[in-house]
Amino acid sequence: MSTPSTPLSGVNQPLKGIAFIVLATFLFSSHDTLSKFLSGIYPIIMVVWVRYLVHTLLMASIFMPSSGLRVLRTKKPGLQALRAGCLLGTSLLFTSGLMFIPLAEATAVNFLAPLLVTALSVPLLKEHVTRGQWIAVLVGFSGVMIIIHPGGELFTPAVLLPLGSAMCFACYQLLTRLVAAHDSPTTSNFFAGLFNTLVMSALVPFFWQSPQWKHIPLMLALGTCGMVAHLLLTQAFRFAAPAMLAPFGYCQIVFAGLLGFIFFDHAPSLTAQAGIAIICLSGLAAAWQQRKKGN
């Protein structure tokens, strides 16, 4: 999922920004597809550890030769650690949810995060939220209730996992907004990757399962997709404003549905499709309200 950033002043190339964010959403969906497949074979702790280990090693190979350890210098280490922990919570909860919830539906529920950001920005950031934005939040939650309606196959405790993931990701986005005033996106991404790699490295020996050779390329691809997607996302917001790019972030749900059908032979039911559409429309409405409020 995408994280808002601020475009460089004077730079306005929306087509480039759109191309970057669409490609990023495809890679995020590919990452989730690989997570779902690998977590059916290996412990979730190990899958998440591999994701952050590869991410960190790639970041180090790209940025440390020119920047050295300066890339890890942060003015807000406490906030950065809390931000990284929220991202780790998102990874663990969402990957766990994929064991029980189809890819498209889990992705749609996770896209409550932008709406939760709107709701949480009131008590945490003391921001003003308009009536239209509150309506969008409530409509988004109604979309989730349609997906997990009582009596449906998704009406199980397992749906709390992607819901918890959405809450963690909302907190992650709010903390990203706070640290953005102090640290660069590169420092924030590198710090989160390294912090979570260290945390998971302390846990993975208790869940270790020797990987099969044929799965090692998939594990490498998992971390690569995640890291490259984040870099593309950063580039997207360099070329276009977040309000313009917000609608294209929902391509991730479309890609998740396509990949879920191709690799797991699952197509969302008509009821789930209706709920997914409502979540997307409410998210777009909230983004439009935010843009309108900013003008």
Q: Is 151 left (phi over 0), alpha (psi -120 to 50) or beta?
A: left
Least confident segment among 12-26, 52-66, 71-85, 93-107: 12-26
Burial class of 123 by CB neighbour count within 10 A (0 to 12, 13 to 18, 19+): exposed
Task: Find tokens 């190339």 and name the residue.
Answer: 13
Radius of gyration for the chain, computed over Cα atoms and rounded to the nearest angstrom: 18
Task: For residue 72, give its domain range.
Answer: 14-294
Query: Are residues 32 and 94 in contact, defined by beta-carbon separation less than 8 angstroms?
Result: yes
29 CB contacts (<8 Å, ≥6 apart)? 103, 107, 252, 255, 256, 259
266 CB contacts (<8 Å, ≥6 apart)? 102, 103, 104, 260
Q: Is the pLDDT of residue 1 over 60?
A: no
Q: Where are the beta strands (DSSP E) in the chain?
A: none
CB burial of 5-41 (b: ≥16 within 10 Å; e: otherwise) equals: bebeeeeeeeeebbbbbbbbbbbbbbbbbbbbbbbee
Rounded to whole angstroms, how far apart are CA atoms 149 and 71?
Answer: 47
Examine residue 186 and state whether it is found in any structural domain, yes or no.
yes
Number of domains in the chain: 1
Q: Is the pLDDT of residue 167 over 80?
A: yes
Would you state the pLDDT for residue 10?
A: 42
Q: Pick the residue with more confidence: 208 or 145?
A: 208
84-143 tens-digit pLDDT: 999 999 999 999 999 999 999 999 889 888 788 878 877 777 777 778 878 888 888 888
148 — phi, psi (to 5°)? -105, 30
265: helix, coil or strand? coil
Q: Is the pLDDT of residue 292 over 70?
A: no
Examine residue 2 and state whether it is found in any structural domain, yes or no.
no
Of 160, 162, 171, which is closest to residue 114 (Cα–Cα)?
171
Examine residue 149 and state whether it is found in any structural domain, yes or no.
yes
Rounded to whole angstroms, how far apart are CA atoms 232 and 153?
Answer: 36
Q: Is the pLDDT of residue 7 over 50?
A: no
Rounded to whole angstroms, how far apart are CA atoms 130 and 136?
Answer: 10
* pTM, entire model: 0.86
Examine residue 276 and state whether it is found in any structural domain, yes or no.
yes
Examine residue 123 and state whether it is found in any structural domain, yes or no.
yes
**CA-based angle 233:191:42, to the nearest 5?**
80
119 CB contacts (<8 Å, ≥6 apart)? 129, 134, 137
Six-digit token pair at 287? 């983004």
Q: Is the pLDDT of residue 78 over 90?
A: yes
Examine residue 1 and state whether it is found in any structural domain, yes or no.
no
Examine residue 270 and state whether it is found in any structural domain, yes or no.
yes
Rounded to whole angstroms, how far apart are CA atoms 222 and 32?
Answer: 8
Examine residue 7 and state whether it is found in any structural domain, yes or no.
no
